[in-house]
Structure formats: structure tokens, C-alpha cells
């Protein structure tokens, strides 16, 4: 049995790193997350492998890239989809590894990898959002408890909190616990949050606030509604209110764990599936907020905090570049999970446990962060970012030290030809190793790419 028997993993939707006090945002109030960061290990350069919901979650649960597990876009929940199809049926997931090690596994909140109305692969217990869309932050909707429908009325984040508290309070199994809590409050629509949470942010954000300069290499699409553009100050205040809901929930759930005397023997991880733009670059949304699909910093950066002061280091801020595949590998090492398909998994992830425990185990921080979204691929170093699109004229190259806002495309600047060539070769080498032919994002007939948002690169898009 591991020395770290319990894990509570908060996996929020659309919560960008920039929207946390502990990541330098003085506008947003996140005392509970700040406490975890200040008394735990905060990863300052954490990324998502794919900046959209379902693929990012699949990367964390499998330790594999989208071009390995085959989910390249968000999985729809409309009538055109089999909402109960299990997109992960050919994978061995993190909760299954915990099960095999004698853990009780539970999921509360968002899943978004299929099985919307049925019990979830790898979880002994689940209480999750159903397929009804749109998902509003307040009101009546049908949830699914171990596959059984249950209508609930109220604030979405409050229901998730209450269910997590109830689960911790009433569980009877004498087993270590792996609990995943999937919050949704930071997802669009950026409306409908309680006025008591929105109004304080309206008073903080200057009335002159406007969305940033438009991303110069595409058009705005998807979640950027006209109402959002017309009142960006209100939209950002609503987003911050969602952050506050999540932060309050984290505090309440961890207090419940403490009341159950679980706090001293539990590792808490807080992260998000991907980042989000709330006006930055003129965008409202994530990687699919623009055409061509984007890899801007706000879309790819996520919060990542490990907290267990009696078990891990505390008061540490780490600068290594890590992503969800690395988190998968780190969890496996930390909890001594045996992976029966380790060789077939071929994970690109590197365990960074040494950064959490100050042990002498070997850890060589990576110098490049890779990413993909369907046919779009990226490599990012400390200074440079290269984004490759199917159409050459859409390729991007930025010097992040000189141009952190990614406004000046240097792809056709002859002074950077050598670096661009090198990074392009590194992208090719990475995906040659961590891609499976049937699932490669560069295929034009991807079966797991959402047909409602799969981009036709020969089509003109406009607002």
C-alpha cells in the first residue's frame, strides 16, 4: 500500500492559470487556491496538451497524446451523437489503475468522455452532468448517479459541492480513496452566476475595460457571442464569479475532508483541462475561439497545484514545463500504481515527483512543450513558439520574451529560419514517436473529430 493513500483531484473546466490570485491576478479572489499554492507546490509553467475539453481530459486520464488516444475535439452531447458511447473503451484509465491497487474511485461533476448517462469506466461511484445542452449555471437539470437519472434544482457548482461533501461524509468503504471533482462554473455561458458574486467584480474591473487587440491571424468564432463582445466587462465579471464558486467549493470540500480526518493523509491536486481567453487577443474561448485554431498562451496554460504538507514539499514554486501527460506519470509514481500496459501506453509524460519531494530520483526537465489540436501542432520553448497549420500561410512563430502577447508573427523573418527549421523537425520527431497512424491529428478523415466544429481549411470563415 502506498504511503499516500488518498487523492482528491480537482479538474475544472476552462479555468485558465491567469484567472487565479496565486498566478498573479489581483482582480480575482481565490483564497482557498492561494492557500493550497502557498502551502504546497505550485507549477508555474503547466500546460494542456490540447486546448479543448475532451482531448485534454483524455490526455490526463491516459498519459497519452490526442494522436495516440484518438480524441481530438470536444465530444458533442447533441442528438447527432451517441451520448453514451465510451470513447475511452480501448484505453486503460487512471481510475482503473487506482482500482487495481485497491482504491475506491469516485467521480463527481463533469466527465465529457462519453458515457454521459451510464456508469463511468474505472469509477466505483459517479454523480455527473448528463447530456442535456446547453449547460446553464443555475436551474433544473438531470444528473446521473451511477447511471440513474436524478433531477436537481440549483446552482451547478453548489450541487457538485454538496455531492462531494455527502460522499466524503457517508462513504463506508475502508479503502484509500481516489476522488475526481469536475467543476464547470468557469465554462461558458459567461452569464447566470449569482449577482452577489458578479457585482463585486463589476466594481473592481474598470468601466473602460475592453477586449484586447484582435488576434491578427484569424477570425473569431464559437463562444464569442455578440453579447460578450458588447459587454466584455460583464462577461469577465461573470467568469470571475465562476472562479469564486469553484474556489469556495474547494474550501468547503477540503474542510469536509478535514472533518473526516482525511486531510493529513491526502494529496490534493488542483488543475484544469485547458486555459481560456476572456478578451485577451480579442478572443472569448479556448483553442477553438478562433479560426485557424489557436495555441495562444491563455488557451494552453493551466493552474497546477499539489498540496499535502505532511507528505510533499510545501511553499514551493516550480518553473519546469509540465503538462497533463506528466501529471499522469507523476501520479502513477507517487501512488506506486502498477501499469499493466506501460509499454503499449508509450506515454510522452515524465514524472516530476522529484520536484514535489526533493528526492534524488532523476528528473531532467524538458526544454520543449508540445501541443496539438486536430491538424494544428505546436512546439514551445522558454523563448520561442512555433505553430504549424495545414496551410503554410497560417504558420506562426513568436519570440515570447520580446513579444509575450504574441502580436508579431516572425515565421517569414529570415533571421529565424534556422530556429524554425529546428523546431519543426522537433515537432515531426515528437509526433512520429507519440502518435498512432489511425489516430493522428493530421489525418483528414478523423473519426473522433467533432463534425460540428471540424475545420474545413478550404472554407472562408467570418463573424
Q: In what order do the strands lie in the sheet with 125-129?
A: 148-155, 138-145, 125-129, 104-109, 177-182, 6-12, 266-272, 304-307, 41-47, 316-323
DSSP 84: T
Maximum separation of any 2 CA atoms in the chain, in Å: 65
Q: How many domains does the chain have?
A: 2
Cell numbers that stand for 380 in this block = 514551445
Same domain, 348 and 377: no
pLDDT of residue 133: 85
Q: Is residue 451 part of a domain?
A: no
Same domain, 288 and 388: no
- Count Cβ atoms below 10 Å from residue 421 Cβ, excluding itself: 11
Q: Rg (Cα) of the chain, in Å, rounded?
A: 21
Q: Is residue 362 part of a domain?
A: no
Q: Is residue 449 part of a domain?
A: no
Same domain, 166 and 304: yes
**Dist. CA 332–CA 271, nearest whole Å:** 17
- Report the DSSP pairing between strands 177-182 and 219-220: unpaired
Burial of residue 80 (CB within 10 Å: 0-12, 13-18, 19+) is exposed
Same domain, 405 and 308: no
pLDDT of residue 418: 98
Q: Is residue 65 part of a domain?
A: yes
Same domain, 326 and 396: no
Same domain, 379 and 306: no
**Dist. CA 312–CA 334, nearest whole Å:** 10
**Dist. CA 450–CA 334, nearest whole Å:** 35
**Dist. CA 425–CA 384, nearest whole Å:** 14
Q: Is residue 154 part of a domain?
A: yes
pLDDT of residue 207: 86
Q: Is residue 142 part of a domain?
A: yes
pTM of the model: 0.94
pLDDT of residue 445: 62
Same domain, 353 and 381: no
**Dist. CA 219–CA 290, nearest whole Å:** 6
**Dist. CA 378–CA 304, nearest whole Å:** 21
| Residue span of the structural domain in which 418 resides | 369-439
- Count Cβ atoms below 10 Å from residue 346 Cβ, excluding itself: 15
**Dist. CA 14–CA 51, nearest whole Å:** 9
Q: Which CATH number belongs to the domain containing residue 417 in this structure? A: 3.30.1120.10
Same domain, 335 and 404: no
Q: What is the DSSP secondary-structure string of 327-353? A: HHHHHHHHTT---TTHHHH-------H
Q: Is residue 433 part of a domain?
A: yes
145 closest CA partner among 169, 181, 109: 109
* pLDDT tens series, the chain, 463 aa: 345 589 999 999 999 999 999 999 999 999 999 999 999 999 999 999 999 999 999 999 999 999 999 999 999 876 777 899 999 999 999 999 999 999 999 999 999 999 999 999 999 999 999 999 889 999 999 999 999 999 999 999 999 999 999 999 999 888 999 999 999 999 999 999 999 999 999 999 998 888 777 776 766 665 445 456 678 999 999 999 999 999 999 999 999 999 999 988 999 999 999 999 999 998 999 999 988 899 999 999 999 999 998 899 999 999 999 999 999 999 999 999 999 999 999 999 999 999 999 776 666 789 999 999 999 999 999 999 999 999 999 999 999 999 999 999 999 999 999 999 999 999 999 999 999 999 998 876 654 444 334 434 333 322 2
Q: Is residue 462 part of a domain?
A: no
HSE of 315, CA atoms in CB hemisphere, 13 A: 0
Strand partners, 269: 9, 306
DSSP helix/strand/coil, 461: coil
Run of H or E residues at 426: helix 417-433
DSSP 120: P
Domain's final residue, options 296, 322, 357: 357
Same domain, 317 and 394: no
Same domain, 344 and 384: no
Helices (H), 188-323: 195-204, 226-230, 232-259, 297-300
Phi-psi region of 150 (alpha: psi -120 to 50; beta: other; left: phi over 0): beta
pLDDT of residue 422: 98
Same domain, 134 and 184: yes
Domain's final residue, options 357, 390, 411: 357
pLDDT of residue 212: 78
Same domain, 319 and 189: yes
**Dist. CA 80–CA 362, nearest whole Å:** 48
Amino acid at each position: 500500500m502506498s504511503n499516500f493513500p488518498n487523492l482528491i483531484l480537482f479538474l475544472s473546466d476552462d479555468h485558465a492559470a491567469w484567472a487565479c490570485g496565486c498566478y498573479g491576478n489581483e482582480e480575482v479572489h481565490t483564497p482557498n487556491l492561494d492557500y493550497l499554492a502557498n502551502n504546497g507546490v505550485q507549477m508555474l509553467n503547466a500546460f494542456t496538451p490540447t486546448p479543448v475539453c475532451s482531448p485534454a481530459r483524455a490526455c490526463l486520464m491516459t498519459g497519452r497524446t490526442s494522436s495516440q488516444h484518438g480524441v481530438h475535439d470536444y465530444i458533442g452531447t447533441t442528438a447527432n451523437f451517441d451520448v453514451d458511447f465510451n470513447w475511452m473503451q480501448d484505453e486503460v484509465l487512471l481510475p482503473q489503475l487506482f482500482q487495481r491497487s485497491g482504491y475506491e474511485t469516485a467521480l463527481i461533476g463533469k466527465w465529457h468522455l462519453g458515457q454521459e448517462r451510464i456508469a463511468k469506466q474505472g469509477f466505483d461511484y459517479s454523480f455527473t452532468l448528463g447530456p442535456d445542452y446547453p449547460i446553464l449555471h443555475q436551474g433544473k437539470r438531470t444528473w446521473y448517479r451511477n447511471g440513474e437519472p436524478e433531477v436537481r434544482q440549483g446552482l451547478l457548482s453548489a450541487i457538485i459541492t454538496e455531492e462531494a461533501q455527502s460522499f466524503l461524509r457517508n462513504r463506508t468503504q475502508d479503502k484509500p480513496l481516489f476522488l475526481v471533482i469536475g467543476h464547470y462554473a468557469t465554462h461558458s455561458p459567461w452569464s447566470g452566476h449569482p449577482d452577489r458574486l458578479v457585482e463585486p467584480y463589476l466594481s473592481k474591473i474598470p468601466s473602460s475595460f475592453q477586449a484586447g487587440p484582435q488576434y491578427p491571424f484569424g477570425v473569431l468564432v464559437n463562444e464569442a457571442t455578440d453579447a460578450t463582445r458588447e459587454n466584455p466587462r460583464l462577461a469577465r465579471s461573470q467568469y470571475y464569479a465562476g472562479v469564486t464558486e469553484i474556489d469556495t467549493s474547494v474550501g468547503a470540500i477540503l474542510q469536509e475532508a478535514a472533518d473526516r480526518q482525511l486531510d493529513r493523509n491526502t494529496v490534493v491536486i488542483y488543475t484544469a483541462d485547458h486555459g481560456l481567453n476572456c478578451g485577451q487577443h480579442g478572443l472569448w474561448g479556448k483553442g477553438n475561439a478562433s479560426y485557424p485554431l489557436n495555441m495562444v498562451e491563455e488557451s494552453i496554460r493551466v493552474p497546477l497545484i499539489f498540496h499535502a504538507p505532511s507528505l510533499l514539499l510545501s511553499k514551493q514554486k516550480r518553473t519546469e514545463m509540465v503538462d497533463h501527460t506528466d501529471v499522469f506519470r507523476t501520479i502513477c509514481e507517487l501512488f506506486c500504481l502498477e501499469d499493466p500496459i506501460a509499454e503499449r501506453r508509450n506515454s510522452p509524460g515524465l514524472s516530476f515527483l522529484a520536484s514535489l519531494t526533493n528526492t534524488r530520483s532523476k528528473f531532467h526537465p524538458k526544454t520543449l512543450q508540445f501541443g496539438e489540436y486536430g491538424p494544428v501542432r505546436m512546439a514551445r520553448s522558454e523563448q520561442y513558439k512555433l505553430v504549424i497549420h495545414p496551410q503554410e500561410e497560417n504558420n506562426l512563430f513568436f519570440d515570447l520574451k520580446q513579444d509575450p502577447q504574441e502580436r508579431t508573427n516572425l515565421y517569414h523573418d529570415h533571421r529565424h529560419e534556422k530556429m524554425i527549421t529546428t523546431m519543426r523537425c522537433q515537432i515531426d520527431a515528437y509526433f512520429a514517436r507519440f502518435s498512432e497512424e489511425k489516430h493522428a491529428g493530421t489525418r483528414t478523415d478523423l473519426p473522433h473529430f467533432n463534425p460540428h466544429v471540424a475545420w474545413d481549411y478550404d472554407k472562408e470563415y467570418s463573424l
